[in-house]
Amino acid sequence: MPSSPILISSHHRVFVLTGAGISAESGLKTFRDSGGLWESHRVEEVASPEGWKNDPEMVWRFYSQRRAQARQCQPNAAHFAIAELETSIVDRLFLVTQNVDDLHERAGSRSVIHMHGQLNMSRCEDPDCGSLPFVDEQLYESKASFAVCECGAVVRPHIVWFGEQPFCMPEIEQAIQQCDYFIVIGSSGSVYPAAGLVSVIAHRRNCGASVRSIYVGPEAPNNARLFDEIRLGTACEVVPGLFAE
């Protein structure tokens, strides 16, 4: 029997965290295989400050390939269902994604926190520059094509690499303390700090808070024991019928 929809009342606050699984259902490669490789690259080669310092040309070539691939993908039924939920409950939905694509936005979501950055944006490599990240869909295949900031430094992908602090953590930490439902969709439960958010929910519940955590994915995540409920199935199968008002 299918699980019953989650009944969202007029006062409930919903925190949704999406991971690579929801984008994979749109055909977007997750890039990370069982051997820890991203498109035959070690993680530290293309997703770390050290990798950028050692070979920025390779890093930009890698993210240019990701940009090109993302353009070919379209939002799926799960993305649209989340956008519809936002239309219904407006600012009582707090949507965070670990994904760097813009599939949520293209489905109609207006308020999306990209905790790991955005693929279609770039920023100055100098943290002291003060310039803001900007929309950038260019494909950089060689150093000769690199964009340069007004300060003279090279522009880098607006992506959170390993060893860097995810974006908007104060806002995320505040929202996790205020939500009534915590829904995780397509995240493996292995990348922190996102994987640790459900432990905050478990602690709140143990302290007497009326809060519920639900995981949606084709298989249980690494942190499954911390969830109140696991709903197995693809995001496209489960999410469109997940909520009721």
130 and 227 co-located in one domain = no
Domain membership of residue 47 (yes or no) is: yes
**pLDDT at position 39, please?**
59
Q: What CATH number does the domain containing 53 carry?
A: 3.30.1600.10
Last residue of a domain, one of 139, 159, 179: 159
**pLDDT at position 198, please?**
97
Task: Indicate the SS3 state at residue 49.
Answer: helix
215 and 230 co-located in one domain = yes
8 Å CB contact between 192 and 162: no
195 and 94 co-located in one domain = yes
102 and 219 co-located in one domain = yes
Active site residue 116: yes
* pTM for the predicted model, two decimal places: 0.93
Beta-bridge partner residues of 213: 182
The fraction of the chain above a pLDDT of 90, given in percent, is 87
Domain membership of residue 1 (yes or no) is: no
The whole-number average pLDDT for the span 66-95 is 96
**Average pLDDT of the chain, as a whole number:** 93
Q: Does residue 114 register a pLDDT over 80? A: yes
Alpha-carbon distance of 64 to 123, in angstroms, equals: 15
For residue 59, give the DSSP letter: H
144 and 230 co-located in one domain = no
Q: Does residue 174 register a pLDDT over 70? A: yes
174 closest CA partner among 122, 63, 61, 96:
96
Q: What CATH number does the domain containing 178 carry?
A: 3.40.50.1220
Domain membership of residue 111 (yes or no) is: yes
95 and 15 co-located in one domain = yes
3 closest CA partner among 242, 245, 244:
242
129 and 226 co-located in one domain = no
43 and 62 co-located in one domain = yes
Residue in 41, 116, 158, 203 annotated catalytic: 116
Last residue of a domain, one of 107, 142, 159: 159
Domain count, the chain: 2
Q: Does residue 1 register a pLDDT over 50? A: no
137 and 86 co-located in one domain = no
227 and 205 co-located in one domain = yes
Q: What range does the domain containing 130 cover?
A: 37-72+124-159
**pLDDT at position 141, please?**
84
8 Å CB contact between 224 and 215: yes
141 and 191 co-located in one domain = no
Domain membership of residue 149 (yes or no) is: yes
112 and 194 co-located in one domain = yes
Domain membership of residue 137 (yes or no) is: yes
Alpha-carbon distance of 138 to 88, in angstroms, equals: 35
For the chain, count helices (H), then strands (E): 9, 13
